[in-house]
Amino acid sequence: MRHPRGITLTTVLIFLALAGGVYCLFAFGQAYWENFEVKGILRQAANECYRQPDDAQVKQFISNKLHSTFDVAGEDKFGRRESRMPIVFDEGELQIQRTEVPRYVHIWLTYHRKVTLPLVNQEHMLTFDEHAEQDLSPVRW
């Protein structure tokens, strides 16, 4: 009868893979969850385009939703209260394009998110490029 071998190379590799997965989930999970919420906001804005023909109003809707969802209260270096978003985007990185044939709207948003890596205390910049589209043709009942 064979005796148990104890810890093998396969056991060590499986343990390291699981530990790496947990580390990545802990380090990047919040950023990707916020990305999921940004996708939802862009889909809402694409639906809003059906009723709102003005692209400036749609951009304002997206900006307001992003601020209401992601603003975090904090203090600046002088001790004054301020609100900041963990995601960074420029107004030029939010683009809306409408087509007439077929009637569609496409919304693109490129934004950046800083992530602090645990245990090594380094910052890593993630770039997300999101797209939402919506058919704007009238509904035929």
Q: What is the DSSP string of 80-99?
A: -EEEE-SEE--GGGEEEEEE
Q: What are phi and psi of 89, to 5 degrees?
A: -145, 155
User: Does some domain include residue 26?
Assistant: yes
**Crossing angle for the helix pair 55-70 and 9-48, to the nearest 10 degrees:** 140
pLDDT tens, residue by residue, 51-105: 998 999 999 999 999 999 988 887 877 888 888 888 888 888 999 999 988 889 9
Predicted TM-score (pTM) of the model is 0.82
Per-residue confidence (pLDDT) for residue 1, from 0 to 100: 65
Amino acid found at 109: L
User: Does some domain include residue 18?
Assistant: yes
Residue 17 is part of which domain span? 9-135
SS3 137: coil
Angle at 74 between CA 72 and CA 76, to 5 degrees: 135
User: Does some domain include residue 63?
Assistant: yes
Please count the structural domains in the chain: 1
User: Does some domain include residue 125?
Assistant: yes
C-beta separation of 85 from 72 below 8 A: yes
Round the average pLDDT of the chain to a whole number and report it.
Answer: 90
User: Does some domain include residue 4?
Assistant: no
User: Does some domain include residue 2?
Assistant: no
Q: Which residues on adjacent β-strands are paired with residue 104?
A: 99, 135
User: Does some domain include residue 3?
Assistant: no
User: Does some domain include residue 141?
Assistant: no
